[in-house]
Structure 1
Amino acid sequence: MGKNIVILVHNVYYMGGTTRAVTNLANMLDDIGHNVTIVSVFKGQRDTFFKFNENIKLESLIDYTTLNQHSITEIINKKIRKIFTQWSYPQYIHPDEPGINQFSRYSEALIIRFLKHLKCDMIISTRASYNLLVAQYAPEHVIKIAQEHMLFEKHSQALKESIIKYYSKFDLVISLTQKDKDIYESHLTSSKIKVIPNALPKGYFNVKTDKEKSNIIISAGRFEKEKGFDLLIKTIALIKDDIRDWKVNIYGDGKEKAVLQELIEKNNLNEIITLHPTTKNLPTLLEESKIYILPSRYEGFGLVLIEAMAKHNAVVAYGCPVGPLELINDEVNGLLAQAESLTDLSNQILKVINNQSLFNTLQHNGFEFSKKFEYEIIRNLWKNTIESVNKTL
Structure 2
Amino acid sequence: MKKLLISSFDLEVGGVERSLINLLENFDYSQYEVDLMLYRHKGDFMKLLSKKVNLLPEIPVYSTFRKSIKETFKDGHYNIGYSRILSKINSDIKGRLKGIVEPGYYQMQLMWRYTLPFLPVIEKEYDLAISYLWPHYFVAKKVKAKKKIAWIHTDFSTVETDVNMDLKMWNHFNLIIAVSQACKDAFLKKYSELQDRVIVIENIASPDFVRKMADEKVDNLLMKDKRFKVITVARLSHAKGIDNAVKALRILKNRGYDDIAWYVVGYGGDEKVLQELIAKNDLKGRFILMGKKINPYPFMKAADLYVQPSRYEGKAVTVGEAQILAKPIMITNYPTAKSQVQNGIDGYICEQTITGISEGVENLYKHPDLREVLSKNCIEKDYANFKQLNKLYTVLKEIK
Establish whether TM, by shorter chain, passes 0.5: yes
Paired residues in the alignment total 367
2:65 paired with 1:72: no
In the alignment, which residue of structure 2 is the partner of 1:170? 173
Residue 133 of structure 1, CA deviation: 4.9
SS in 2 for 1:54: coil
Q: Which of the numbers 195, 203, 211 marks the counterpart of 1:198?
A: 203
Residue 257 of structure 1, CA deviation: 0.8
* Cα deviation digits, residues 283-322 of structure 1 (max 9, x gap): 1111111101111111111111111111121111110122
Q: In 2, Cα distance between the equivalents of 1:326 and 1:392?
A: 31
Instruction: Write the mapping of 1:1-393 to structure 2, written as runs, cut at 5 A.
Output: 1=1, 3-9=2-8, 11-29=9-27, 33-43=31-41, 45=42, 48-49=45-46, 51-59=48-56, 60-62=58-60, 63=63, 72-74=75-77, 76-77=78-79, 80=82, 85=86, 97-99=106-108, 108-109=116-117, 111=119, 113-114=121-122, 117-130=123-136, 132-139=137-144, 141-156=145-160, 158=162, 160-182=163-185, 183-184=187-188, 186-190=192-196, 192-201=197-206, 203-209=209-215, 215-240=228-253, 242-322=256-336, 324-339=337-352, 341-369=353-381, 371-372=382-383, 374=384, 377-378=385-386, 380-391=387-398, 393=400
Q: CA distance change for structure 1 residues 243 and 200 in 2, over 3 Å: closer, same or farther?
A: farther
* Cα deviation digits, residues 139-164 of structure 1 (max 9, x gap): 3x522111112223234452x33444
Q: In 1, Cα distance between the equivalents of 2:118 and 2:27?
A: 26
Q: In 2, Cα distance between the equivalents of 1:248 and 1:260?
A: 13
Residue 137 of structure 1, CA deviation: 4.9
8 A Cα contact 2:183 2:314, kept in partner: no
Residue 177 of structure 1, CA deviation: 1.4
Q: In 1, Cα distance between the equivalents of 2:79 and 2:22?
A: 34
Can you give the 5+ residue segments of structure 1 that lack an aligned partner in the other structure? 90-94
TM-score scaled by length of structure 2:
0.80
Residue 69 of structure 1, CA deviation: 11
Residue 329 of structure 1, CA deviation: 1.7
Q: In 2, Cα distance between the equivalents of 1:70 and 1:383?
A: 44
Q: In 2, Cα distance between the equivalents of 1:129 and 1:356?
A: 43
In the alignment, which residue of structure 2 is the partner of 1:92? none
* Cα deviation digits, residues 239-268 of structure 1 (max 9, x gap): 125432232111111121111111111111
Identity %: 21
8 A Cα contact 2:180 2:315, kept in partner: yes
1:336 counterpart letter in structure 2: I
2:397 counterpart letter in structure 1: N
8 A Cα contact 1:315 1:334, kept in partner: yes
Q: CA distance change for structure 1 residues 282 and 32 in 2, over 3 Å: closer, same or farther?
A: farther
Q: CA distance change for structure 1 residues 32 and 151 in 2, over 3 Å: closer, same or farther?
A: farther
* Cα deviation digits, residues 328-381 of structure 1 (max 9, x gap): 222221111111x11121111111111121010111123444x23x2xx23x32
